[in-house]
Amino acid sequence: MYCIVCSDIWKCDITLEAALPIYAAMPKSIYRPEYAVLVELVREMRLEAGLTQTDISNQLGVTQSHLSDVERGTRRLDLIELRDLAGVCGVSLVDAVSEFETRLKKRRIITKR
């Protein structure tokens, strides 16, 4: 088992119920400044690849409005979806995350760790 509080594997006895007050105070990721940087990157990857939202949505098997919601920041994008989307744009997940981190540093957005 992986502890969500201390990141220890198999050694921690903190239960999910005990950890919930810690996470209840955290804002949803779509409202954080880092997420605005991510959706900007997603849109730019698509445009640089010369693709429309419809092109990408057809390849990913989602609706165009789903992708529009992602690019507007109203729908959360998980890691697997980011990987798929980046791949359609011809960008590796590693390169996308590297660019994301670079943009955070340029804007001096401190990521909580």
Residue-wise pLDDT for 61-79, tens only, equals 999 999 999 999 999 999 9
Give the pTM. 0.72
Report how many domains make up the chain. 2
**Contact indicator for 88, 56 with CB cutoff of 8 Å:** yes
β-pair partners for 9: 2
Q: Do 56 and 11 fall into the same domain?
A: no
Same domain, 39 and 82: yes
Structure confidence by residue, pLDDT tens digits, 81-104: 999 999 999 999 999 999 999 999
CA gap 21, 17 in Å, rounded: 8
Q: How far is CA 50 from CA 36, 53, 88, in A?
A: 22, 10, 11
Q: Is residue 64 part of a domain?
A: yes
